[in-house]
Amino acid sequence: MISITSHVLDTSAGRPAVGVAVRLERSGRDSWEPIAEGATDSDGRVARFGTEPLSVGLYRLVFGTGQYYASQDVDCFYPEVTVMFLAVDDGHYHVPLLLSPFGYSTYRGS
């Protein structure tokens, strides 16, 4: 079984990004299928996406960065960040996002 989590840190503020909308999607035959939606908690984390078991496949996380910065009255360059990744075997996939109004980075966490 596969589990997916995420953590968003606002590097410009030096703290977790609270309330960022995050959507998990899985690649289907011709389109992306929504799996789960959520928002980062007070520690900037989404601890679980949905209740159904996940299987090997191509996934993407879509982060609502524009809405997050708009709620703080801050302009940003990337209104949405999409991170696509391949889950190749059972296990835990942690996808952190380091965010600022004019840039971002990501990596496979643990």
Range of the domain at 99: 2-106
Give me the mean pLDDT over the 71-83 stretch: 97
- pLDDT tens digits along 21-68: 999 999 988 999 999 999 999 999 999 888 888 999 999 999 999 999
Torsion, Cα of 66, 67, 69, 71 (10° steps): 160
Please state, in angstroms and rounded to a whole number, the distance separating the CA atoms of residues 71 and 65.
10
Query: Which CATH number is 47's domain given?
Result: 2.60.40.180
Q: How many domains, in total, are found in the chain?
A: 1
List of residues 6+ apart from 29 with CB closer than 8 A: none
pLDDT at position 32: 97
Q: Is the pLDDT of residue 77 over 90?
A: yes
Q: Report the chain's mean pLDDT, rounded to a whole number.
A: 95
